[in-house]
Amino acid sequence: MKLDFTKLTWEQMRDVVRALQIEMKRRNPIFINAYMGPLYAAHANLDEIAKAEKNHPTSEAGPRGKKKRKKNAKA
């Protein structure tokens, strides 16, 4: 499976990181706890960004709200 990460939303990236956490914990490699801290931090940061972008989209690649139309000024 190959993902195009350039088109993912913040919420989808958060879900990918969470899936990596679950799979790494399931396989339980040696020294797993050294990798879990950064993954938890990445998941928490992406979760915060995803929640913020849901109400106030600012990302160029993420979902957008309706644009405000500028009225033409008549002189």
Please report the pLDDT score of residue 26 as a whole number: 87
- pLDDT tens by residue, 4-18: 777 788 888 999 999
Rounded to the nearest 10 degrees, the angle between the axes of helix 33-55 and helix 10-27 is 160
- pLDDT tens by residue, 16-63: 999 999 998 888 878 888 888 899 999 999 999 888 887 776 655 555
Distance between CA atoms of residues 8 and 3, nearest Å = 9
Sign of CA dihedral 36, 40, 41, 45: positive
Please report the pLDDT score of residue 19 as a whole number: 93
* Selection from 38, 33, 42 nearest residue 15 by Cα: 42
Instruction: Say whether pTM exceeds 0.85.
Output: no
